[in-house]
Amino acid sequence: MRKTITILKTSLMEIFAEKEILLIWSLAEGIGLISVMVAWLASDQAVIGGYTKSELVSYYFIIYLFTQIIGWWVFWDVREAIMSGKLSNYLLKPFSFIRYLFIHEFSYKVINMVTNIVVGIIIMIAIKDYLVISIDPATILKLIPAILIGIGINFLTHFSFACVTFFWTESHFMADFHWIASMVLSGSMIPLSLFPKVLEKIIYLNPFRFTFSLPAELLFGKITGQEYISGLLVGSFWVLFFGFLSLIMWKVGLRKYSSFGS
Partner 1 sequence: MLRYLKLYRSFIKNCLIREMEFRLNFFIRTIIYFVWASLAYAGIFIIYSHVNTIGNWDKEEMLLLVTVAGFANTIHKATLYPNVNEIPRYIREGKMDFVLSMPVDARFLVSTRYFKFEQIPRLLVYLLLLIKFTFDVNPHTNITTAILPLILILIGVFGMYCLLFTISCIVFWKPRIWNLFAIINEIENLADRPSDIFRGLLWFVVNLLPIAAFATIPTKFLLGEGNINLFFSSVLVVSVVFILSQMIWKWGLKRYESASS
Binding site for partner 1 (CB under 8 A): 18, 20-21, 24-25, 27-29, 31-32, 34-35, 38-39, 41-45, 48-49, 170, 173, 176-177, 180, 183-184, 189-190, 194-196
Distance (Å) of CA 156 to CA 74, 80, 197, 248: 9, 17, 29, 12
What's the CA gap between 44 and 175, in Å, rounded? 36
Least separation in angstroms between CB 27 and partner 1:
6
Closer to partner 1 by Cβ: residue 31 or 121? 31
Which residue, 5 or 118, is less far from partner 1 as judged by CB? 118
Q: Which is nearer to partner 1, 95 or 179 (CB)?
A: 179
The least CB distance from residue 219 to partner 1, in Å, is: 21
- Smallest gap from Cβ 41 to partner 1, in A, equals 8
147 or 203: CB nearest partner 1: 203
Closer Cβ to partner 1, 30 or 150, answer by number: 30
Report CA-CA distances (Å) from 25 to 8, 15, 67, 75, 182.
22, 13, 12, 17, 18
Quote the least distance from Cβ 137 to partner 1, whole Å. Answer: 34
Rg (CA), the chain: 20
DSSP β-bridge partners for residue 48: 51
To partner 1, the closest distance from the beta carbon of 180 in angstroms equals 6
Spatial contact of 208 and 181, defined as CB atoms under 8 Å apart: yes
Burial state string for 114-133 with b = 16 or more CB within 10 A and e = fewer than 16: ebbeebbeebeeebeebeee
